[in-house]
């Protein structure tokens, strides 16, 4: 059993993704599972169509029949998710009673970024003026100073030295680490 929270994909009846989302949130609340089940996400993206000259934007499911759950896999959490109405099973499960494999970190990060979400919230506080190292993305291994913090979108503006001058770059919380 892993004590690390990871993302798992669960299979639902087609068209029941939002209902499973609601059911699972209600169950984790009523069964007091917030310390083992953290986030429940229906993968979707905004789709804009133009019909009769009118622009219409709506959310479209990117993986119909699937819901993502960020959780620590224990017998209890597995049971709660598996027995939620509308859930047909975990993706990657080899059979009854066998725990499923989590999504690869890269898969989870890709899906969440497509939806405009961050994979994780960093569990440390940062302040403007603090020195950090960028550990992911195009500015990997660059050092800089935090200039701005956007807590709502989990993004930071970091000043890094490029071509002999300080340049502001935008990074997500999980793309930096503090320098002690």
pLDDT tens, residue order, the chain (180 aa):
447 889 999 999 989 999 999 999 999 899 999 899 988 988 887 778 888 888 888 777 878 899 999 999 999 999 999 999 999 999 887 666 678 889 888 888 788 777 766 544 444 577 889 999 988 888 889 999 999 988 766 788 999 998 889 999 988 877 888 887
Q: Which pLDDT score, from 0 to 100, does residue 122 have? A: 46
What is the rounded distance in angstroms from the CA atom of residue 29 to the CA atom of residue 68? Answer: 17
Q: Which pLDDT score, from 0 to 100, does residue 145 have? A: 93
Report residue 142 as tokens: 């660059």
The helix/strand/coil state of 113 is helix
Residue 128 is given by DSSP the state T
In 161-180, which positions are buried (b, 16+ CB within 10 angstroms) versus exposed (e)? eeeeeeeebebbbbbbeeee
Q: Is the pTM of this model over 0.85?
A: no
Name residue 35's beta-bridge partners: none
Q: Which pLDDT score, from 0 to 100, does residue 94 have? A: 67
What is the rounded distance in angstroms from the CA atom of residue 158 to the CA atom of residue 171? Answer: 7
């Amino acid at each position: 059993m892993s004590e690390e929270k990871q993302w798992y994909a669960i299979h639902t009846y087609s068209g029941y993704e939002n209902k499973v989302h609601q059911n699972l949130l209600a169950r984790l609340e009523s069964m007091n599972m917030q310390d083992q089940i953290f986030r429940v996400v229906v993968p979707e993206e905004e789709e804009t169509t133009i019909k009769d000259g009118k622009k219409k934007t709506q959310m479209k499911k990117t993986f119909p029949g699937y819901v993502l759950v960020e959780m620590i896999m224990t017998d209890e959490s597995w049971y709660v998710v598996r027995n939620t109405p509308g859930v047909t099973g975990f993706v990657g499960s080899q059979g009854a009673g066998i725990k499923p494999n989590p999504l690869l970190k890269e898969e989870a990060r890709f899906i969440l970024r497509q939806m405009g979400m961050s994979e994780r919230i960093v569990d440390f506080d940062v302040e403007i003026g603090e020195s950090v190292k960028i550990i992911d993305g195009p500015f990997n291994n660059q050092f800089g100073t935090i200039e701005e913090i956007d807590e709502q979108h989990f993004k930071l503006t970091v000043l890094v030295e490029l071509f002999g001058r300080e340049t502001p770059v935008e990074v997500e919380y999980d793309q930096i680490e503090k320098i002690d």
